[in-house]
Structure 1
Amino acid sequence: MTRAKLDFVSSSSLTSAQKAELLKVDNKDLTFTHMYWELASVGSTSRDILVYGKANYEFTYPEDEKWEKGMVPTVFSLLPVLRITDRRPSSKFEGKGLVLAEASVIDTFLAGRFGLLGDNEWESLAIQTFYSNIHYLRERCFSSVLDVPSELRKKGRDNYMNVQITKFCEDHEYHLKDNGSNGHYVGNKLSLADIHLSNIIHFFSTVTWGKMALDRFQQYESLWKVKENVDKVPAIAEWRQSSIFKGHEEASIAWYANNAIPEDEPEA
């Protein structure tokens, strides 16, 4: 099946120079349209950033039937996709915009737009380094636990929890202590890495393995403090109590219940 494609490098709508110019437009004059499944998962961090930044945003979801028929345009046949358009009346960009794909690119782009990549180039690189390692932890979950035969999922889950998550927590606890155990990865300000870690902890302790994962993360005080700091950010706290967010969470729990070993799965 050939899926409908979105223009990415094409100049049929805007030239490369015009796209670069559009990216210089102030946030308040842009609309960010974010498409992802009605789930938490990979789209969560970019949603959090748009909420935190008080952006002009819209969260959209593909229709299942259209998706199955390849009628939902994407860049790589995957989601999320972010559309950026100029909302100013009579702007030369009116009705036109650009598209970004890949969760890590979208997250990092939005973090830069909304002040979550530190105060200088070095801090930006450090934050992106922590973010990348956090992001990879989620990807290893898919390869270790989900994308395996069902009879191997429990073994994969146990190895993932006992080896990979433990090593991740030890590594990140070390660096967070090195930053003074102040609840932030870099300096003393909220960053992309902080929000992404909060999402990963929430994902594992709410959506997939509940108390088992929660207990593991809570053993690491500096790491847990990052989650608590993010949870206290007013805009993010309000968003995570919203009916929309809870709908994403409930749908995720239902999906992963059928695709991941629950924490109380009996021994074979």
Structure 2
Amino acid sequence: MVHPVPHPFFDPAQADAFNALADETDSSFEVRYFHLHGQGGLARTLIVIGTNGHSRLTNVHEDDWAENKPTTPFGVMPLLTETSADGKTKLQIAESDAIERYLARKFGLFGNGTAFEKVLVNTFANSTQGLIMSIFNSYGLIEDRAVRTKNKGPLISDSIAPWIKYHEQHLQANGANGHYVGNKVSLADVKTDYVISMIQGLSGDELVSEEKTPAIWKVRQEMDKIGGVAEWKASEEYKSLGKENFDFLGY
């Protein structure tokens, strides 16, 4: 019986590359995704944070998805390629969650590294990821505008409003310092900054603002102080991705 060979992303031969690059922060990165933020935006922001800008980030926008889809591990994107500073070593990762957690670990975005703080960061990040997927699935991926409009009310009342209530509470309990865990940026903060844009894309300042949700808003303010983040958001590339995001997903 002939067994299929592993997909290149899952080839055990990649183990050496992971061992070599897992703790390196001077690599360059390629994110392969559509020309919008979507499920690729968080990975891009994590790279910007970890490399203090977007000069080592290359965005490859998929133009022929029908042809290239079968070559991916699960028929979905984003996909990440990391290349060592000397260009000799490369690794590839599929699935947005795996990409984000790999980058967060590499760049020290799991609190102080203790088991407790890692769990806290993962807990808050997972809660926000649930909201991201609710918005994505019940609104962004719905092509029928009438159905989108119908879904918006329940999405706000059943998913967004409870998230705001609990996350504002937990952030206040940490001193409303713009962080979920301790006093440093973590993956949880990055996801909240991302979902703020999604919520505001749906409702403007109606639900989230400095006045209405000061602790949540403080997360955004602290994120924008990180080297490279504000510049990335102000770049023409980021704005172009945002326009396509709104045109395609509605936020």
* TM category, shorter: 0.7 to 0.9
Which one of the candidate residues 244, 249, 253 is aligned to 2:242?
A: 249
Look up the equivalent residue of 1:216 and give its one-letter code: L
* TM-score normalised by length of structure 2: 0.86
CA change 1:54–1:148 in 2 (3 A) is closer
Look up the equivalent residue of 2:151 and give its one-letter code: G
Structure 1 distance, partners of 2:147, 2:14, is 49
Q: Do structure 1's residue 145 and structure 2's residue 139 form an aligned pair?
A: yes
Structure 2 distance, partners of 1:123, 1:182, is 16
Please tell me whether the aligned partners of residues 62 and 72 of structure 1 are also in contact (alpha carbons under 8 angstroms): no
After the TM superposition, which residues 124-203 of structure 1 pair with which residues of structure 2 at under 5 Å, given as runs? 124-147=118-141, 150=144, 151-203=146-198
Q: CA-to-partner distance for each residue in 1:136-156, whole Å, 9 max, x for gaps?
A: 101111332345583432221
Query: 1:78, CA displacement in angstroms?
Result: 0.8
Query: 1:9, CA displacement in angstroms?
Result: 2.0
Q: Do structure 1's residue 204 and structure 2's residue 202 form an aligned pair?
A: no
Corresponding residue number in structure 1 for 2:10 = 9
Corresponding residue number in structure 2 for 1:59 = 58
Secondary structure of the structure 2 residue equivalent to 1:188: coil
CA change 1:46–1:70 in 2 (3 A) is closer
Structure 1 distance, partners of 2:90, 2:169, is 43
Corresponding residue number in structure 1 for 2:44 = 47
Query: 1:167, CA displacement in angstroms?
Result: 0.4
Identity of counterpart residues, as a percentage? 27
CA change 1:146–1:254 in 2 (3 A) is closer
Corresponding residue number in structure 1 for 2:29 = 32
Structure 1 distance, partners of 2:156, 2:69, is 38
Stretches of structure 1 lacking an aligned partner (at least 5 in a row): 261-268
Please tell me whether the aligned partners of residues 177 and 183 of structure 2 are also in contact (alpha carbons under 8 angstroms): yes
Corresponding residue number in structure 2 for 1:263 = none
**Following TM superposition, where does structure 1 have runs of at least 4 consecutive aligned residues deviating by more than 4 angstroms?**
146-149
Structure 1 distance, partners of 2:24, 2:85, is 11
Corresponding residue number in structure 1 for 2:213 = 220
Query: 1:61, CA displacement in angstroms?
Result: 2.4
More contact order relative to length (CA 8 Å, sep ≥ 6): 2
Q: Do structure 1's residue 77 and structure 2's residue 72 form an aligned pair?
A: no
CA change 1:36–1:63 in 2 (3 A) is closer
Rg larger for? 1
Please tell me whether the aligned partners of residues 40 and 203 of structure 1 are also in contact (alpha carbons under 8 angstroms): no
CA change 1:152–1:235 in 2 (3 A) is same
Which one of the candidate residues 113, 124, 128 is aligned to 2:106?
A: 113
- Aligned residues between the structures: 240
Look up the equivalent residue of 2:206 and give its one-letter code: D
* TM-score normalised by length of structure 1: 0.81
CA change 1:34–1:70 in 2 (3 A) is closer
Which one of the candidate residues 196, 210, 232 is aligned to 2:225?
A: 232
CA change 1:234–1:31 in 2 (3 A) is closer
Please tell me whether the aligned partners of residues 183 and 225 of structure 1 are also in contact (alpha carbons under 8 angstroms): yes
Look up the equivalent residue of 1:251 and give its one-letter code: E
